[in-house]
Amino acid sequence: MAESVVKRAFKYRFYPTSAQEQELLRTFGCVRLVYNRALEVRTEAWSQRRERVGYVQTSALLTGWTKSGEYAFLTEVSSVPLQQCLRHLQGAFASFWEKRAKYPRFKSRKRGKASAEYTRSAFRWRDGQLTLAKMTEPLDIRWSRPLPEGAEPSTVTVSRDPAGRWHVSILVETTVEHLPPSTTAVGVDAGITTLLTLSTGEKITNPKHGDRDRARLAKAQKALARKQKGSRNRIKARLWVARVHARVADRRRDHLHKVSTRLVRENQTIVIEDLAVRNMVKNARLARAISDASWAELRAMLDYKARWYGRRLVAIDRWFPSSKTCSARGHLLDRLPLTIRTWTCRCGTVHDRDINAARTILAAGLAVTACGDGVRPTRHQSARQLSKPPSEGKKQELSGASPMGNPPP
């Protein structure tokens, strides 16, 4: 059976001793300082002198900082996490230049999680125990699942989330066997009331984890607002809020893993829409519901699991009118408001809006599979036309843009 060689991260909880906690907190602070200082230097160099500073220059600056009296304390922690944060900053700028992300932001001591990355030269892996640089004792890790047999960690990332939980992520190179080939294909329509609607007619309910803990979160946030700034009680209240958020995120992620794994196991081809979630959450009335559904995270899970297990994920263009196109005859409506959940086509077919969209998405995805990834259906092509193979000696005309690409002019 075919298999894929992948780099896979295994994440575990661990409980540091007081000495290890102090060492890690000191490392987090130094990492944050170096990152922010390098970002400041790069920003000033470009804004004042139009000079581009890269990783090599910031690495040389780091050497100078450790030798100066002002930043001599940087030598008290391992140098590897400091170098790694400069590489991460370089990656953040690369994403910005390629217009895949916003301009890098300064790291905050109070916002987000703190982390430090250790490469092979900065930790010791022996007899299933992990010991980081500058530490004498191995980490007390809760092995919730074993590492692949014979796998050797290449990178270790230690982090503490806003809820105060400590995690270690161990990156290893391993093999994943492909699932047995299947002839099943499914179209998936994402929604809010129903998380996913499949072309088979099945609807997967949205648990709405955010709504279920809304009252608990409101109570915690109200308590936080009443605490005096800078007090220990405010720190405790902030931790309470973070734990509620962590509970919601964990339950949501668990559900998405189960749904995505099931779709990949049962289908050879999965067809979805290329939704612009970042733009959709700008709708003030739907932002909370869209964020709670977490379509982007589900899409990412389907993407890497399909690659791991030998499946195919097809994304059709976001502008394809899947809801307004009759999946039976291909007729296209001029308008279909969101309030209309069931409609009757002029051919007499009664459609459930979401099921019809999923079937139309499947037809468009099969056309993309047959014609190649470099095509996408136009706004006015019907699902019936897309489901037909191109005739002999005649090229099927589709607009030349990627199914992951930009909206049509």
Cα–Cα distance for residue pair 253/257, rounded to 1 Å: 6
CA geometry: angle 370, 372, 376, nearest 5 deg: 95
Both tokens of 115, joined, read 């982390």
Ramachandran quadrant class, 99 (left: phi over 0; alpha: psi -120 to 50; beta: rest): left
Strand-pairing partners, residue 343, are 351
End-to-end CA distance of the chain: 45
What is the total residue count of the chain?
Answer: 409
Q: How many helices (H) and strands (E) does the chain have?
A: 11, 13
Judged by DSSP in three states, 349 sits in coil
Per DSSP, what are the bridge partners of residue 115? Answer: 159
**Could you give the C-alpha distances from 88 to 43, 78, 82, 115, 154, in angstroms and in order?**
16, 17, 10, 12, 17
Evaluate whether 209 touches 219 at the Cβ level (below 8 Å).
no
DSSP string for residues in 131-193: EETT-SS---B--SSPPPTT---SEEEEEE-TTS-EEEEEEEEEEEEPPPP---EEEEEE-SS
Dihedral sign for Cα atoms in the order 153, 154, 158, 159: negative
Q: Pick from 196, 185, 182, 183: which is nearest to 368 by CA? A: 185
Please tell me whether residue 10 adopts helix, strand or coil conformation: strand
Radius of gyration of the chain (CA): 25
pLDDT tens, residue order, the chain (409 aa): 688 889 999 999 999 999 999 999 999 999 999 999 999 999 999 999 999 999 999 999 999 999 888 899 999 999 999 999 999 999 999 999 999 899 999 999 877 789 999 999 999 999 889 999 999 999 999 999 999 988 899 999 999 999 999 999 999 999 999 999 999 999 999 988 889 999 999 999 999 998 889 999 999 999 999 999 989 999 999 999 999 999 999 999 999 999 999 999 999 999 999 888 878 888 888 888 888 889 999 999 999 999 999 999 999 888 888 888 888 888 888 888 888 888 888 888 888 889 999 999 999 888 877 776 544 444 444 444 444 433 333 333 332 333 333 333 2
Residue 225 sits at the vertex; the CA angle it makes with 222 and 227, to the nearest 5 degrees, is 115
Residues 6+ apart with CB under 8 A from 406: none
Question: C-alpha distances in angstroms, 341 versus 191, 350, 351?
Answer: 12, 11, 9
Residue type present at position 94 = A
Q: Which amino acid is at 389?
A: P
Q: What is the pLDDT of residue 372?
A: 61
- Enter the pTM of the model: 0.82
Write out the catalytic residue numbers: 189, 273, 354
Q: What is the pLDDT of residue 379?
A: 41
Q: Would you state the structure tokens that stand for residue 122, as one six-digit string?
A: 């900065």
Neighbouring residues of 69: CB distance < 8 A, sequence distance ≥ 6: none
Give the Cα separation of 41 and 362 in Å (integer).
50
Q: With contact defined as beta carbons under 8 Å apart, do 207 and 251 qualify? A: yes
